Structure 1
Amino acid sequence: MKKLFYRSLSFFNTIESKIAFYPTVLALLGIFFAFLLIYLESLGVSKYLLEKAPILVVDNGNTAMTILSALISGLISVIVFSFSMVMLLLSQASNNYSPRLLPGLISDRKHQIILGIYLSTILYNIFILFSIQPTGDKYQIPGFSVLIGILGTVICIYAFIYFIHNISQSIQISNILKKIYTQSKIRLTEVIEKETPHLSPFPDSEDWHEYHSEKNGYLQNISYTSMIGFSKENDTKLHILPYKGSFILSGIPLFKSQKELGKKQVDQVLQNISFAREELVEDNYVLGFKQITEIILKAMSPGINDPGTAINAIDYLTELLALRMQKKDINVIRKEEVPYVKINTVDFKDLLYQVMVAIRTYCKHDVTLCQKLLVMLHYLLQQKTYNEDYYDNIKEEAAVLLADAKEAITNPTDIDRLTNLAKTFTFQLNHAAKNE
């Protein structure tokens, strides 16, 4: 039952990120509501309303059909324009910032819900229009249902106004950076809070039995509860080899087991590992670092050349790196202080290097950004850390950055300024260490 629950949860998280998920759900609700109103009409709700508040009820069949037809055609025009705006947003974000931002923008729940409101109202009006049937010389008029259709259209108009406002805000790079930073921070904070103090170490898995993947895709989620249950049941320990968020090819080593497993047992382990064809920041905080880094690279490309955006992105990157310094490089899942599952994670050294090497390639010729990067590294040296080795990694990146800047920058004054800045930061750090 637990396996079914976690697999269902993983499936729901996957389809929820699709742009058609919420529109489809709301459209089905619109159809259901239309049939509910048709049933209420058969009970005489319109007749009651006509007696109590006749001004609210349309009592002419031709007028009702004309109103519903006009509402349907108008809403179809609105939804076409809204979809066009979404496609324009995705195209502009991909061209100006990074294609990696598209999954996050597509999964924006506000846009999906607004489009779903349009679809549900259109389908509701269509089914109500079909329910108007001629009876002799008169029409059977669902006056109350027509009133609800008009009110739904008014809601769609206000939703369209909000949609224009929200989409104009979503395309701004400051809001995109803030969203990526917030999602990454939430995910990284969750990972840090789940870590337990160092207790018994995880055994060395070098000589363990190795098993391969049977699927392709990004390693998205792992059911830790089921993994622990499997390990206890089979009296073994598991070591997941790839990083979470890395792309897995069929046939490559996926996990190791302390004891040899049979085919059925291997299948049980694989069922607790889910793959996806896209990456989301909500599942993997490392993707947030990648997206912010790619925004910096895109901003400093010759076609855009926007140092201001790059500086803002470095500010967000600084905060995330400072938070990452509080996390261990090893992720061990325990229960009752007993280690059962080890999961490889991206080391702080590798994460910092991958971020800095990409930025250095595009920004080493820019004095302003080199100064900003030195300030970032100096700030990280002043932060609390889980591992003192992180400080050495930061100092190494500062030295490499300064060396690349000296080769790329030809102006002696600029080189001296960067060199003196690096020396000042080093002196301040050493002075603070002596005072402690």
Structure 2
Amino acid sequence: MIYLESIGISKYLVEHAPILVVNNAETARSLLTTFVAGLISIMVFSFSLVMILLNQASSNFSPRLLPGLISNRRHQIILGIYNSTLLYCIFTLVSITPQGDKYQMPGFSVLLGIVFMTLSLGSFIYFIHSISQEIQVNTIMDKIFKKSKVRLEKLIEAEKHIDIDFEDTSNWKSVMANSTGYMQDVSLKSLADLAEEQHLKIEIVPIKGAYILKGIPILKYKGDSDEDLEKKLAEAITFSNSELIEDNYVLAFKQITEIALKAMSPGINDPGTCINCIDYLTELFALRMTKKDKSYYFSEDETALIFINTVSFEQLLYNVMASLRTYCKHDIVIVQKLFLMLQYLLQNSNVLNENYSKVVVKEIKNLEKDASDNHKNEADIIVIQSCVKRLQQVNSSEYEI
């Protein structure tokens, strides 16, 4: 705009479209000064709102949610609009320079400053609306659920439904971690290319998302030993200091469970949120049941080149249920909801995978024992017994409840 003003765009517009040009130096200075002061105030207020959101999410829900909230792309774009408009107004204000008795007026640039300020005000209104939505627990859980669902569906789609017995890897050579951090991602394509080129078979030892300490084995391979080869194998694994649901769906189960536990703490005491969490967990577990416990990477001729260790359905369900049983067993309403979740999973496991039925039945027995031990009221005991009886009726697996 400074360049366009130097070749006379404002002068041209004054002659042909005067309504588009602010042609008074004092008016222009007043407008731009007001815009600069107003934008600084808006930016400070917006930043304060973000801090309140992060503080409330951390104290009421879980500190694990903060990375997802901080990386909200819409809020970053809005703060960018504020910053760019502020800088534009400052540079336009500086470009109003005296020439003899008059000022060189960047009239059209001032008009654009008004347009950008209007855009900033619209962005601010949207920001207020967006931040009020982001702070709601249902919105937070829905975002976590959608991200993990996309990740799970991608893994299920990529899974080849071939049952194989991979070799025993206990005597294979190990590749050690040369740094510390969360195992964020694995370049399976690079590993597969190396495996085919060097005639190797590979096992990825840690579960994705696990915290890896320097010097522990991250890969095992069967084939000729070579330092350069081991270095290339180690480079296929990416480490990070943070965890993302987009890379590891198990984190979604952890986060939703933590929100449920925080909701049931004496300081918050919000069983309604806990029930919503169980609804989301039910759908995620049902989706997880369509995935196999063992994962492999196959070559084009259907040969299993890489064995990938994953969190088993049994371990995942136990970890979630152990936490929920510990902190929610005193609330009969939550206990009923957990029985309903296990009933739905049992019905699905009867259709999808008989092996998962055993896991679900085991958790039903654990929940029944904890609930019975913690409820002395006869009405509550009748409710627990009726839930168990209903589960026995829908159970068509070989495992008895």
Which interval holds the TM-score relative to the shorter structure? over 0.9
Q: Which residue is equivalent to 2:206?
A: 242
- Among residues 174, 193, 204, which one is paired with 1:229 in the alignment? 193
In the alignment, the residues of structure 2 paired with residue 183 and residue 151 of structure 1 have an alpha-carbon distance, to the nearest angstrom, of 36
Deviation at 1:143, TM superposition (A): 1.5
1:428 to 387, 394, 397: 394
Letter in 1 for 2:341: M
Structure 1 equivalent of residue 335 of structure 2? 370
Residue in 2 that maps onto 1:69: 33
For the residue of structure 2 that corresponds to 1:220, the secondary structure is strand
Distance of 1:145 and 1:408 partners within structure 2:
72
Letter in 1 for 2:348: Q
Query: What residue is the counterpart of 2:261 in the other structure?
Result: 297
**SS class of match (1:410):** coil
Structure 1 residue 428: Cα displacement:
2.8
Structure 2 Cα separation of the partners of residues 165 and 352 of structure 1: 37
* Partner residue, 1:402: 368
Q: TM-score w.r.t. structure 1 length?
A: 0.88
Q: Distance in 1 between matches of 2:170 and 2:395?
A: 40
Q: Is the 8 A contact 2:62 2:258 kept in 1?
A: yes
Contact 2:209 2:243 in 1 (8 A): yes
AA matched with 2:392: T
Residue by residue, what CA displacement relative to the aligned partner does 1:367-425 show, whole Å, maximum 9, x if unpaired? 11111101100011111565321111000001001101111112132123202221222
Q: Partner amino acid for 1:391?
A: S
1:178 aligns with 2:133: no
Aligned residue number for residue 142 of structure 1: 106
SS at match of 1:383: helix
Deviation at 1:183, TM superposition (A): 1.0
Partner SS state of residue 161, structure 2: coil
Once the two structures are superposed, what CA deviation does each residue of 1:258-278 show, in whole Å capped at 9, x if it has no partner?
124433222222222111111
Question: In 2, are the aligned partners of 1:327 and 1:386 still within 8 Å (CA)?
Answer: no
1:272, 1:50 → 2: CA distance?
63
1:202 Cα deviation (Å)? 3.2
Q: 2:201, 2:268 → 1: CA distance? A: 51
Q: Find the partner of 2:247 among 264, 280, 283.
A: 283
Question: After alignment, is 309-318 or 139-148 more displaced?
Answer: 139-148
1:17 matched residue in structure 2: none
In the other structure, the counterpart of 1:95 is 59
Q: In structure 2, what is the Cα distance between the partners aligned to 1:167 and 1:269? A: 44
The CA deviation at 1:321 is 0.2
Amino acid at match of 2:364: A
Shift of 1:200: 4.9
Amino acid at match of 2:309: N
Tell whether the 8 Å contact from 1:58 to 1:64 is kept in structure 2 after alignment. yes
Amino acid at match of 1:354: N
Describe the SS at the equivalent of 1:415.
Answer: helix
Match of 2:314 in 1: 349
Aligned position for 2:347: 382
Evaluate the alpha carbon distance shift between residue 136 and residue 95 of structure 1 in structure 2; reply closer, same or farther with a 3 A threshold: same
Distance in 2 between residues matched to 1:403 and 1:339, nearest whole Å: 42
Q: Is the 8 A contact 2:145 2:280 kept in 1?
A: yes
1:50 aligns to 2:21 (yes or no): no
Distance 2:352 2:219 in 1: 27
What CA distance in whole angstroms lies between the structure 1 residues aligned with 2:356 and 2:190?
33
Q: Is the 8 A contact 2:205 2:308 kept in 1?
A: yes
CA spacing shift, 1:72–1:389, aligned 2, 3 Å: same
Q: Distance in 2 between matches of 1:298 and 1:182?
A: 21
Q: Is the 8 A contact 2:347 2:394 kept in 1?
A: no
Question: Which of residues 255, 258, 266 is equivalent to 2:219?
Answer: 255
The answer to whether the 8 Å contact 2:175/2:234 transfers is no
Give yes or no for contact 1:185–1:320 (8 Å, CA) kept in 2.
yes
Inter-partner Cα distance in structure 1 for 2:79 and 2:340: 44
Q: 2:305 aligns with which of 330, 340, 350?
A: 340
Aligned residue number for residue 105 of structure 1: 69
Q: Which amino acid aligns with 2:86?
A: I
Which residue of 2 is the match for residue 38 of structure 1?
2
Which letter maps to 1:375? Answer: L
SS for the counterpart of 2:103 is strand
Structure 1 residue ranges (4+ consecutive) displaced by more than 6 angstroms after TM superposition = none
1:329–1:347 Cα contact (<8 Å) kept: yes
In structure 1, the residue corresponding to 2:395 is in which secondary structure? helix
What is the CA–CA distance in structure 2 between the aligned matches of 1:177 and 1:320, rounded to whole Å? Answer: 12
Matches of 2:165 and 2:223 in 1, distance apart? 18
Which amino acid in the other structure matches residue 192 of structure 1?
Answer: I
CA separation of 1:261 and 1:62: change in aligned 2, threshold 3 A: farther
